[in-house]
Amino acid sequence: MDNREEEDYFSKAQNTVCRLLKFRLRSEKELQDKLKAKNLPGSVIKQTIQHLKDIGLVDDLPFARQWVCSRLKKPFGINRIRLELKLKGVDPAAIETVIQETTGQYDELDVVTRLAQRQASKYKNIDHEKIRQRVYGYLQRRGFSTNVILKAIKTL
């Protein structure tokens, strides 16, 4: 690959990354995957990611913090958030650090109880046990822990 061709690839990679980062922070793995999908050479991808890390635009720790905060507002459970971050290529130690930092004042039982009551109110003329099963499934899909779900369902 000659110098001009490499510059073109590098420019294409930077444009792609800038467009992606305009909307939200991305993990390093997400950016690598997007650049690979553009069929860019591995050396250009590596160089682009390193350049972005050097100037502070790519860092998995701030990305994970922002992701956890946004997902807790939805609200999703810690289990689901942990899985999403793992799938996005964030280091497991960083995931645990961010979750410990962010969930200090997060009352999961209160959130799950409110969600369970809101979900249960949608079901009319259905057996009470069937409602509890549906609410349990809903909360489990959102990634809440089984113990907290069971406590919340007892209040229905």
Give, in order, the Cα–Cα distances in Å from 37 to each of 5, 30, 41, 131: 18, 11, 10, 44
Residue 67 has pLDDT above 90, yes or no: yes
Which among 153, 155, 113 has a CA at the least distance from the CA of 130?
A: 153
**pLDDT digit string, tens, across residues 48-60:** 999 999 999 999 9
pLDDT score recorded for residue 1 = 63
| Per-residue pLDDT band at 105 (split at 50, 70, 90) | confident
Report DSSP state, residue 25: -
Distance CA 56, CA 50 (A): 10
pLDDT score recorded for residue 6 = 81
Give, in order, the Cα–Cα distances in Å from 31 to each of 15, 66, 90: 12, 16, 12
Q: What is the residue type of 147?
A: N
pLDDT score recorded for residue 118 = 94
pLDDT score recorded for residue 7 = 84
